Amino acid sequence: MRKTIPIVVAALAAGFVLAALILRQQLGGWLDLVLNWAIIIASAALLVAVAALILTHLRHIIRGQRGFIYSIILISAFLVSFVGALVLGLDNTAYLRWVAAIQLPLETSLLGLAALVMTGAALQIFRSRGWSLLTISFGISALVFLVISLGLLQALNIPLLTTIIAYLQRLPLIGARGLLIGIGIGALMTGLRVMLGLEKGWGE
């Protein structure tokens, strides 16, 4: 019984949302209410996740586990950021500058680091994956699009070259469409399974 209630709740919620999307005129108001509840619960779930993260790191510190110094750093940064927003307000310029001064260099540097690591990985791709249709087509395609991204060929303004480049830029359409359809079908099946109670998408 205890295991059935969540399945029933999930199925009922899903069924109601689908019905409301179809019968918008009749159920539009209720749908808005349910969506509002879902947004609040989703936000609360995120807050619970953050709280769980903090509690985990607190436990690391209390038990003196290996790497607790990192936990101290994380909790300190969290407290300064969280309490600062509550006290100063989200619109406070000084607070936003401080957040930007920390997040912007870190996130930008992380993404920049990805470029450096990708350069190293590009050397290893063929050694680790070997030669196959996928890797060969990937390699050639990457080289072609890198050359196109330079912009030098387009700058020549040769009509035939421009036409060829336009066709090449449309070529990934096929693979991308296949990817989207494949992923879409997979996500559709997963959603249907959750709606029908065949899959428990809430971590049980």
Q: What is the footprint of other proteins within residues 114-173 (CB under 8 A)?
A: 114-120, 122-127, 130-147, 149-152, 154-155, 157, 162, 166, 169-173
64 versus 131: smaller Cβ distance to other proteins: 131
64 versus 130: smaller Cβ distance to other proteins: 130
Two structure tokens written together for 46: 């995120």
Q: Which of 26, 65, 70, 164 binds other proteins (CB under 8 A)?
A: 70
Computed over its alpha carbons, how large is the radius of gyration of the chain?
A: 26
The amino acid at residue 21 is L
Q: Least distance to other proteins from the beta carbon of 65, Å?
A: 14
Type and span of the H or E element at 50: helix 24-63
Q: Least distance to other proteins from the beta carbon of 54, Å?
A: 8
Q: How far is CA 182 from CA 75, 115, 174, 176, 192, in A?
A: 41, 29, 12, 10, 15
Q: Could you give the string, one character per residue 38-67, with x where binding to other proteins holds by CB under 8 A and - elsewhere?
A: xxxxxxxxxxx-xxxx-x------------
- Residue 97 interacting with other proteins (CB under 8 A): yes
Q: Which of 18, 62, 164, 198 binds other proteins (CB under 8 A)?
A: 18
For residue 78, the SS3 value is helix
65 versus 191: smaller Cβ distance to other proteins: 191
What does the alpha-carbon distance between residue 165 and residue 67 come to, in Å, rounded to a whole number? 52
Using alpha carbons, select from 86, 113, 93 the residue that is nearest to residue 78.
86
62 versus 79: smaller Cβ distance to other proteins: 79
Helix, strand, coil in percent for the chain, rounding step 5: 85, 0, 15
- Residue 27 interacting with other proteins (CB under 8 A): no
